Amino acid sequence: MSSISKILSELHNTVLKSLKEDSNIKNCIASIYDHLPKNPSLPYISMRIVDYQEISLMPESVLKAKLVFGIYSFHMQSLFEIMENVGKVVSSLNFKHLDYKAVLLNNGTAGQHDDVLYALMNFNILLKEKCDRI
């Protein structure tokens, strides 16, 4: 498997690009961040890779990366709509050099702080390099 940092970088860039290009998400959020500014505009999505692990499956290796999406909104309906669209985007990513499988984990959370509603969505992404077999 090529450099783990290269694969994680491709994952990060592909997910951000896909989220920013999705028309359903663009219609219901103010911005998408990978690094939060001091005063973000609501509603917004933040995304980060919080963990990764290389799993050796002879003769190949698979990289398991955990993605966490923070979704923040003033309205419950828009929060659910954004969550649904994030799930669709993550399930239909298109990588140039990688095969993948996305698994939504059952340990997300939702809550409220002052007037802001939030939800955390956790995904395990399994990645491996594409084989060019004939």
75-85 per-position pLDDT tens digit: 888 888 999 99
Question: Distance between CA 88 and CA 25 in Å, rounded?
Answer: 10
pLDDT tens, residue by residue, 22-54: 998 888 887 777 777 777 778 889 999 999 998
In the Cβ-directed half-sphere of 20, how many Cα atoms lie within 13 Å?
12
Query: Which CATH code, of 2.60.40.1120, 3.30.2000.30, 1.10.1740.10, 3.40.50.12500, is assigned to 4-129?
Result: 3.30.2000.30
Return the closest-CA partner of residue 69 out of 27, 122, 124, 3.
122
Average pLDDT, integer, range 96-106: 73
Q: Give pTM, 2 decimals.
A: 0.82
